[in-house]
Structure 1
Amino acid sequence: MFEFLRSYIIYLALLSGSIGLISMHKLPGKKAKFLVILIWFSALIEFVGYYFTYWTGLLNYYVYNFYMFVSFSAYILLLRSLLLKINYRLTAVYFLILFMLSFFLNIMYFKEDPNRSFTYSFAIGVVLVLILSCLYLVEIFNSDKILNFKRSVFFWYILGILVFHVPFTPFMLAINWFLIKQDDSVFSLVLFILNILAHSCYIIGFLWSEKKYNY
C-alpha cells in the first residue's frame, strides 16, 4: 500500500539539498559546505539504489552498505571537527577505527553472500554517532554557545541524523533478531516518515542558521 513512498525519498533529499545550495552564503567554511555535499550524495545514492536492481539484476544492498560506510565515517569525522576537547576528539578517532573494523568484519562474516544488509555495522555506527553527539551537546550546553545553538546549522544537521537513525535502528534489529517478516509497505512508510523528520531538520538548519555561528 505504501511501497511507492520509498521512491519519493529522493525528492526530500533534492529539496533540502537545493535549500542548502541557496543558503551557501551562510555556510562560510568547508565544514559547513560539507553538509550540503552529504545531502546531495544521499540523493545520488537514492537514485542509484532505486535503479540498481534494474541495471544489474542484483539486490541494492551493495549500494546502501557502501552508503552506510561513507555516511557514518563522514558523521564521525564531522563530529570530531566540532568537538573541542582533545580527549573527545581522540575518542572520535577511536570510534572511526572501531566502525571501520566492524564494517570489514561484517564483510568477512558474509563473504559467501555479501549482498545483504550490514545491520550490526549500522547499529554500531548509530551508537558511536549517538555518543559523540552527546559529547557535542554537552560541550554546547557548558559554553556560551548555549545562547545561540539554534542558529548553528551543525546543531540541526546532527539532530536530523539522530532523528532518523536512533528510531530506525531498533526497527532494523527487530527484523533481523526476531525474524519478523519485513513488510515492504510498513518499511517504506517508516523510512519515509523518518526521512521527512531528518530533512526537515536540515532545512530548518539552513533557513534559521546565521553565518557567524556556522564556522
Structure 2
Amino acid sequence: MLSFFIVFWVAAFFDKDYIHYTGIVGSLNVGVMVFLFLRELLLSNEIVNYKKLLPFWVSVGFLVFHLPAIPFFSFWSYMKNRDLLPILYSLIVLMNIIISFGLLWSSRRVEY
C-alpha cells in the first residue's frame, strides 16, 4: 500500500489529476494501519487502560477523519459545487479535538 501511495504521490507532481488518488490511497493506508494497531492493542494486556494511552486517542482521531474522507476524495472531481466541504472541515476539527483530548487525558510514561 505504501508503494501505491508513493507512485501516486510522484505522479501527482507531473499530472495534477492524480492528486485525488493520492488522498484516497493515503486515507486507505492510514485506515488499514490504524485498524492493525487497534487489533494489536485489543490482543495485548494494555487494553485494560486504553483510555490512558495516547496512541489510542491519536488512532481514533485519525479514523474519525480518514475513513469518512475517502468518499469525499473519491468523488471530488464529480462535485460541481463545494457544499459538502463544511462536513470535511468539521471532521478535521473533530479529529484535532480527539487528539487534543488524548494529549490531556493520557498518562505519561516516565522511563529512566
* TM value normalised by structure 1: 0.47
Aligned match of 1:199: 96
d(CA) in 2 for partners of 1:131 and 1:195? 19
C-alpha contact (below 8 Å) 1:106/1:121 kept by paired residues: yes
Gaps of 5+ in 2: none
Identity of aligned residues (%): 27
Aligned to 1:8: none
Map 1:1-215 onto structure 2 (within 5 A): 95-108=1-14, 110=15, 114=16, 118-176=19-77, 179-183=78-82, 185-187=83-85, 189-212=86-109
Equivalent residue letter for 1:201 = I
Q: Distance in 2 between matches of 1:159 and 1:117?
A: 28
Give, in angstroms, the shift of residue 196 of structure 1: 2.1
Q: Give the secondary-structure state (helix, strand or coil) at the position aligned to 2:79.
A: coil
In structure 2, how many angstroms separate the alpha carbons of the residues matched to 1:132 and 1:195? 19
Quick check: 2:12–2:18 contact (8 Å CA) kept in 1? no
Q: What code does the residue aligned with 1:101 have?
A: V
> Which structure would you say has the larger Rg?
1
**Local SS of the residue matching 1:181:** coil
What is the CA distance between 1:151 and its match in structure 2?
0.8
Q: Is the 8 A contact 1:175 1:182 kept in 2?
A: no
In structure 2, relative to structure 1, the CA distance for the partners of 1:123 and 1:104 (3 Å cut) is same
Distance 1:126 1:192 in 2: 16
TM-score when normalising by structure 2: 0.84
1:117 Cα deviation from its structure 2 partner: 7.1
- Once the two structures are superposed, residues 120-148 of structure 1 have per-residue CA deviations (whole angstroms, 9 ceiling, x without a partner) of 11101111111111111111000101111
Distance 2:25 2:45 in 1: 32
CA RMSD between the two structures: 2.0
- In structure 1, the gaps of 5 or more residues are 1-94
Q: Distance in 2 between matches of 1:151 and 1:200?
A: 16
How many angstroms does 1:105 deviate by? 2.5
Taking the aligned partners of 1:191 and 1:147, their CA distance within structure 2 comes to 33
The 3-state SS of whatever aligns with 2:84 is: helix
